[in-house]
Amino acid sequence: MDKSHYGSRNPSELPFESPFLRRCILAAYWALVLVALPAWWHTTSIERLPLPMSQVMAQTKREIEFPLNIRLSSAVDGVDADAVAHELERSLRSRLSSQLFVLPTGLNDVSVSSEPGSYWVKLTDGVQESVVEENVLQHRWDVRDSTASSTLANRLAALLSPYSEHAHAEQHEHVVSKYASRYHIAFTLLNEDAASGKSALSWQIREALQRIMRPVFKRLGPLHNFTIESQVQFHAPLAFTPTAVDVNGTEVYGLTPEDLTVFVNSAEWTLSSGVTNDPILHFLLFVPSAFRRPLHILDSAGTLTRSHSFILPQWGGVVIYNPPPETQGNFHILSSQLDSILPIFRHQLLSLLGVPRLPSGVKSVSGSLSTWQIDALLRRRAHENAREAQQTLGSIVKLVEQIENMPVGKDVKRDVEDALSALDQAFEAALISPKLAFDHSSRALTLTSRAFFNPGMLALLYFPPEHRLAVYTPLFASATVPLIVAVIREFAAWRKQRKTAASSGIADITSVGYCPSSATFDHNDVITKVGLNQR
C-alpha cells in the first residue's frame, strides 16, 4: 500500500496509530518500570546493621587500672621492714592507686624476676645514691634521717607514675608525639651553604647509630617498630637572618627563641627521602654557612646560652654543629666526633616518645632504659590507647544515631565488636601484665580507627540526603514526567471516547425508534376504513 493511500485516511484509523496499540506500548513502559523498581531499590538501599550501643556506652565508662606489687627488704640493721612497708603502702596508695601493695620479704628472696608488674626495693647503706637495675631499686637508707621514709615514697612515686607529677606533665606533655606502632626516623646532615666552603661532605652515621642508638631501639621494640634512614644535603638556607651579637669584641651569630620556632624551612628543605605513611621524627645536624659561624642559641634576654640543641614538639630535634675554627676546606664528620652528638639525639628521641626520665637522685647501673621506665611507658600508652579507643567508639555510635542514612556494613560491625573484645582483654590483662594490656589496647585503637574511617561511613559524612535528592531528581524527572503525562492523556482520551460512544448510541436509537404518542389512532377511523373496503 503506498503512502498516498495512508495520506488519504484519518490518522486515527492507521494501524500503528490505534489507541489499543498505543496503550499497549505505554503499559509496556510502566511494566518495565515496575519490574525494575525492586532491583533499583535493592541495589541503592543502605546496609545498616545494628551496633552494640549498650556495650559501647558501658565500655566508655570503664577505666584501666594496673595493680602494683612492691617487695621490700632491708640490709640495714635496726630497720623494721614491716613498719616501713606499711608506711610506704599507706603513702603510695593515697597518691597513686588503691591497687598498690608493699610486701616485706627476706633479703635472700630479692632477685630479678620476670613477673610483670612486680618490683623490688632493697634498703641498704652500701650505696651513695639510689640505683636501679632492671626492676630492682637499691635505696640508701639512713636510720638517722627522719625524712627517709618520705624520700623513698617520693622516689617510688616518681618511678611508678612519673606522669602524675604536675610539673613534669606540664613541661613535657606537649612534646610527646601521638602513639604509633611504626615510626620513621630520619637523620639528616644539613649544610646551610656548601658553596661557601668549609662544609661537611659526609658523616659516619651508620657506625654511631649501631653503637649509641641501637640499644635504645631494641629496648623500645615492644612498643614501636623503627625504620631508619640518613641523608646529606648541601644547600639548606634559613628563612631568616640570624642575629649578630658582639661577644668580647668577636662577632657571633645567635638564634632567638622566635627564630627557633621557624628554624625549619619546609619550603626549601627536602627532609624525607622516602615515601611513607608512618609518622616521621626528624633529627637534624645543622652546619652553618662559613659566613655565619659560630652560630649559638640566645635566651629571651638576647644572651648566649651553653646549649647548642633544641627540640621541636612532636616533630624532632636539631643540633647545631660549629666546626673548629682551624678547619680548612671541606671536611668529613667521623664516628668519634658523633659520640657527643648522638647522645643528644637519643635524649630528644626519648622525650618525643614519652619515655620518662629517672627521678632526681636515681641512676641506672647499665646506663640503658630500666624496667621501671619501660613499664611506666607501657602503662601510659595502654591508658591513652584505651581512652582514645573508647572515645572513638562513642563517636561512631553518635554518628550512626545522628545520621539516619549512615551505612553500617558487616566490616564496620565486626571491627566495633572486635574492638570491644580487645578492650575487655586489655582491662583483664592489666591485672597481669602491662605489656599484654598495651598490646590489646593498641589493637583496639587500630580497630576503632579503621571502623571510624571506613570508606562507606566516611563518604556519607559529606553526602547528606539533600545531595542525593539533587542527584536523583534530574535523572528520574526526565524519564517519569513524559510517562505520567502520557498516562493522563490516554486516560483523558479514553474518557472522551466513552462519552462519544455513549452519545452516538443514543442518537441511533432515536432515529430508528417510534414515539408512543404518534402511535395512537382513532377507533372510528379504522372502522370506517374497514367498511369502505367491504363495499
Q: Write out pLDDT tens, residues 454-482.
A: 887 766 655 666 776 777 778 777 878 88
User: 522 pLDDT exceeds 60?
Assistant: no
pLDDT score, position 2: 52
Q: What region does 233 belong to: left with phi over 0, alpha with psi -120 to 50, or beta?
A: beta
pLDDT score, position 518: 43
Highest-pLDDT range among 166-175, 431-440, 488-497: 431-440
Cα separation, 239 vs 192, in Å, equals: 11
If pLDDT is split at 50, 70 and 90, which confidence band does 507 have? low
Share of the chain above pLDDT 90, in %: 38
pLDDT score, position 535: 39
CA R_g for the chain: 45
Cα separation, 312 vs 255, in Å, equals: 14
Which of 245 and 283 is assigned the larger pLDDT? 283
Q: Is 106 exposed, middle or buried (0-12, 13-18, 19+ CB in 10 A)?
A: exposed
pLDDT score, position 202: 94
The total of other beta-carbon atoms located within 10 Å of residue 159's CB is 23
User: 82 pLDDT exceeds 70?
Assistant: yes
If pLDDT is split at 50, 70 and 90, which confidence band does 530 have? very low
pLDDT score, position 459: 63
Cα separation, 111 vs 100, in Å, equals: 20
CATH 3.30.379 residue ranges for the chain:
68-171
Which of 191 and 528 is assigned the larger pLDDT? 191
If pLDDT is split at 50, 70 and 90, which confidence band does 424 have? very high
In sequence order, what DSSP letters do the residues of 284-297 get, joined into one string? EEEE--GGG-SEEE
Highest-pLDDT range among 66-70, 169-173, 391-395, 453-457: 391-395
If pLDDT is split at 50, 70 and 90, which confidence band does 260 have? very high
In sequence order, what DSSP letters do the residues of 134-189 get, joined into one string? TTEEEEE--TT-TTHHHHHHHHHHHHH-GGG-HHHHHHHTTTSPPP-SEEEEEEEE
Q: What is the mean pLDDT of residues 436-452?
A: 95
Q: What digits encode the pLDDT tens for the residues 286-328?
A: 999 988 889 999 998 888 899 999 999 999 999 999 998 888 8
In sequence order, what DSSP letters do the residues of 306-345 get, joined into one string? S--EEEETTTEEEEE----TT--S-EEE-TTGGGGTHHHH
Q: Which uninterrupted H or E stretch holds 510?
A: helix 465-512
Q: What is the pTM assigned to this prediction?
A: 0.77
Across all residues in the chain, what is the average pLDDT?
83
CA 529 distance to own-chain centroid: 120
User: 37 pLDDT exceeds 60?
Assistant: yes
Q: What digits encode the pLDDT tens for the residues 124-151?
A: 887 788 899 888 898 888 888 878 888 8
Q: Is 278 exposed, middle or buried (0-12, 13-18, 19+ CB in 10 A)?
A: middle
Which of 430 and 481 is assigned the larger pLDDT? 430
Q: What digits encode the pLDDT tens for the residues 245-257?
A: 888 878 899 999 9
**Following CA atoms 72, 116, 357, 387 in sequence, which dihedral angle do they give, to the nearest 10 degrees?**
-130
- CATH architecture, domain defined by 375-462: Up-down Bundle (1.20)
Q: What's the CA angle centered on 227, arms 203 and 182, to 5 degrees?
A: 145
Name the grid cell of 435. 605489656
Cα separation, 391 vs 412, in Å, equals: 16
What's the fold here for domain 68-171? Chitobiase; domain 2 (3.30.379)
pLDDT score, position 23: 81
Q: What is the mean pLDDT of residues 476-500?
A: 83
User: 268 pLDDT exceeds 90?
Assistant: no
If pLDDT is split at 50, 70 and 90, which confidence band does 10 have? low
Nearest to 73 by CA among 61, 84, 57: 84
Q: What digits encode the pLDDT tens for the residues 331-368?
A: 999 999 999 999 999 999 999 999 999 988 898 887 78
Q: Which uninterrupted H or E stretch holds 102?
A: strand 100-104
The pair phi, psi for residue 247, each rounded to 5°, is -125, 105
User: 516 pLDDT exceeds 50?
Assistant: no
Nearest to 317 by CA among 280, 278, 277, 359: 280
